[in-house]
Every structure is written in C-alpha cells, then in structure tokens.
Structure 1
C-alpha cells in the first residue's frame, strides 16, 4: 500500500518541475527542427508539383525525420544533403534529450513525491474508516482484527520502521514525526472516520492525541488504553469514549478462568 509523508522531501517536487521544463524545451527544439526541415525541403523542391502537394510532402518527410520512422518520399541531391544535416541535428537533439531527461524521475525523492500525490487523492476520498494510531504489537493486532472485520483501516505512525511494516502488511499509512503529529491527525480525515483507536505506549501522547481528535470531531468514537483509574478519568475528560485498563482486563480474565476451572472441579 501507500505511505503519505507529512515531511515530504522538497527535492522531489523540484525534480519534477525541472524535468517538465526540460521536456518542454526538448519538444520545442523538435518542433523547430520539424518546421525548419519542412521549410527547407519545400524551398529545395524545384518540381512543378502544386504548392499544396509540395507542402504536404515536405511536412511528411519532416515528420518522418523527427519521429525516426524513415518513410521518406523521393528526394533529389540537394534535398538529400539537406536531410543529412537535419538528421545530424535530430541526433544531437535526441542525445540532448537522453542526457537531460533520463534518470531524473527514478530517484527516491521523486517516488515519494508521486506516492504522496496518490495518497492525497486516496485520503481525500476516504470515509467511514477506522484510524489506528501506532503500529507496535498492540496496534498491529488491533489493525489485523479490524481488517478481518472488513473495516477500512488507516494507520498513523511517527516512525519510519513502523510505517514500512504497516505498508508491507497492506495498510494505508500516514507518517509524521511527533513534532508534526497534529498535521498527521488532520490528514487522517477524522471528520469522516468511524472510530479512532490509540495504541501507542506513551500515555502522555495518548492523552494529547485524544484531545486533538476530539477537537477535530466531537462525535468520534475514541478507544484508548489507560494505566489506572486517574488516567482513565483524564482520558474520558479529553473525549475518549472507551478507556480500557490493561491490568484490570488481565486480572478479570485470570480470575474468571480460575473461577471456571474451580467450578468444574467441584
């Protein structure tokens, strides 16, 4: 899948613009060559052929030269000499184009630029999805269960390694460093999301993310883990709709399993 990077390298966009400028320059040179070749052949044509037909023939030969098709009409000696010069000019322009254009669009920065443009379109049309913040073991497990439930999942991370792993698993990813994570949340289309699940191990980050997400969409369902009762109260005050304390869940599960085991032994 694709990764949208908030801190997109500027060099990719610069390379794209420069490639386009060089491509326009090359096309302009070919157009000048075509025009010059057509005019030269027309002036060198001393036959009694009607002017319209001579013009068409000259244009036909010029196009065959520029496009390298090679299907030329009959040429006299003067026209052949002229065409030799035009062919040499064509080779020069072709070599110029190869040297100036080849390889410019294959760099990592250009690939990231293209990937970001594609992801912008995907994010713009994304709706009714579930956003998972973090892709540690918990976040990966949550995303896996959501996908098995046929939910559209968007993963938000602040780490390149997590972003790559999530993308390799087939998830759409928005990547941004902690200093720009506000922008990450804004790009997650929380205004059209079904729910948000916060899974990062940093409780302070979880609280800040909950506050921002609730501010963006006050009706958004937000699930987040909490360490204790105090932290649960803080998260609920920040806008969390579901706060789970891991120790309580484990304790309840253990006691429940034990009670069931003891009950069967009586």
Structure 2
C-alpha cells in the first residue's frame, strides 16, 4: 500500500525543489528563444502584410522551430540562414535542459519523498482502522487476518525490513526510528482508530505504547500481550483494555487437547 517515513528523506525534498528550479530555468530559456526567434523573423520579413499578420506568422514559425514541426521551405536565403542558427541554438538549449533534468527524479530519496506525499494524503482520510504496532510473527499474523476479513490495517514499525514486508502484504505502514517512535504513534490518527494492538516482543515497549496511545485517545480499545499477572496489572493501569497472557491461553489449549484425547481413548 505504501510507507510513510516519519524521518522524511530530506534529500528527496531538496532534489525535487532543485528539479523544479532547473525546470523553470529550462522553460525560461525556451521562452527567451521563442521571443528571439519571433523578433528575428519579424525583422527579416520584408512583406507588406499588416503588423499583426507578420507577428502571427513569425510566432507560428518560431513555435514550429522549437517543436521541430515546421516547414520553412518558403523562406528566402536570409531567413533560412537565420533559422539554421536558431535551430542550432534550439538544439543546444534542449540538450542543456535534458542534461539538467534527466535522472534527478529517479533516485531512491526522491521516490521515498514522493511516496511520503502520497501517504500523507491517505493518512488524512484514514478512519475506523486498526493500528498494529510491530510486524514480527505475531503482528504479521494479526494484521494479515484482519485484512482478510476486510479491516483497514495501519502497521507501525521501527525496522525497514519489516516495513517493506508489511507494505508487500498490502498494509499501510508508518516507519520511524526507535528513538523517536512516539512520532509514529502520533501520526497514526488514533483519534479515528477502531483499536490498537501492541505486539512487540519487549514488554516494556508494549507498556510505553499503551501509555502513549491511551494519553492520545483514552477511549481507544488497546489490546496487548502480557507475560504474567503483574505485567497484566501494569498494562491495565496504563490504559490497556485487554491483556492476553500467552501462557494461560497455551495452558488452556493444551489442557483441552489432553481432555479431548482422554475422552476419545476411554
């Protein structure tokens, strides 16, 4: 779907601004060439036609010169010599413009900058979505299951490889450096979110995410795993709506399997 980088690639923005500056210069050169060609053709036009007619004809021929679409066979020798010079200048200006503009927008930093702009527009209209923090095994399973049942999923990660994997699976992604991950959460539009699921393997990270998310939207349902009863109490105090202790679920599943097996063999 796309990746929004909180630490926006500044070089990409610089390159885009530079490309626009160069494009303006190239257009200005073409306009100057058009004016010069029109003026020259006007001065070389020895006909007795009205000024407006001669001006239009000169502009027409000048535009044909720049676009290389013209037929100048009706010109006299002086006009043809002038047009030869103008054609040479036109080729120089075109070559200059191509060398100045070609390739500047194809760099990875520019692509990332443009993707950021597109993702900003998507995030502005994001609503009723589920935020998944982390995209390791647990986060990926949850995000993919939610997407299959039609939920809109926004994945928050601090690792490029995980961000790329989540985007490949069709999720919108926000990536931020670990030391400023709070910024990723603030960009997740929690005020419009349906729920948040914290899936980091680090319990302290899930606690920090829960605290920040709850402070940004106290009514947001927050679901997170917990290692034990004490951690569950801490997470609930921080604002978690539901804390799932993995060992309890595993123990319940194993016990039920054992009972079912005993019943089938008795």
Structure 1-normalised TM-score?
Answer: 0.98
**Post-superposition offset of 1:73:** 6.8
After the TM superposition, which residues 234-253 of structure 1 pair with which residues of structure 2 at under 5 Å, given as runs?
234-253=234-253
Which position in structure 1 is the counterpart of 2:197? 197
Which position in structure 1 is the counterpart of 2:87? 87
Which position in structure 1 is the counterpart of 2:226? 226
**Post-superposition offset of 1:168:** 1.1
Conserved? CA contact 2:39–2:58, under 8 Å: yes
User: Which structure 2 segments of 5+ residues have no match?
Assistant: none
Which position in structure 1 is the counterpart of 2:131? 131
Summarize deviations over 1:161-183 as a string: whole Å, max 9, x none. 11111111111110011111111
Q: Aligned partners of 2:3, 2:183: CA distance in 1, in Å? A: 15
Summarize deviations over 1:230-251 as a string: whole Å, max 9, x none. 0000000111001000000000
After the TM superposition, which residues 14-163 of structure 1 pair with which residues of structure 2 at under 5 Å, given as runs?
14-72=14-72, 74-163=74-163
Q: Aligned partners of 1:262, 1:99: CA distance in 2, in Å? A: 78
Q: Aligned partners of 2:151, 2:98: CA distance in 1, in Å? A: 47
Conserved? CA contact 1:64–1:72, under 8 Å: no
Secondary structure of 1:85's match? helix
Conserved? CA contact 2:13–2:110, under 8 Å: yes
Structure 2-normalised TM-score?
Answer: 0.98
Secondary structure of 2:34's match? helix
Q: Aligned partners of 2:103, 2:263: CA distance in 1, in Å? A: 72
**Post-superposition offset of 1:7:** 1.2
Deviates more, 1:25-34 or 1:65-74: 65-74
After the TM superposition, which residues 162-177 of structure 1 pair with which residues of structure 2 at under 5 Å, given as runs?
162-177=162-177
Secondary structure of 1:260's match? helix
Conserved? CA contact 2:144–2:169, under 8 Å: no
Conserved? CA contact 1:61–1:73, under 8 Å: no
Secondary structure of 1:174's match? strand
Q: Aligned partners of 2:61, 2:94: CA distance in 1, in Å? A: 18
Q: Aligned partners of 1:177, 1:26: CA distance in 2, in Å? A: 39
Q: Aligned partners of 2:182, 2:72: CA distance in 1, in Å? A: 63
Summarize deviations over 1:51-98 as a string: whole Å, max 9, x none. 211111100000011112124472111111111111111011011001
Secondary structure of 2:225's match? strand
Conserved? CA contact 1:7–1:176, under 8 Å: yes
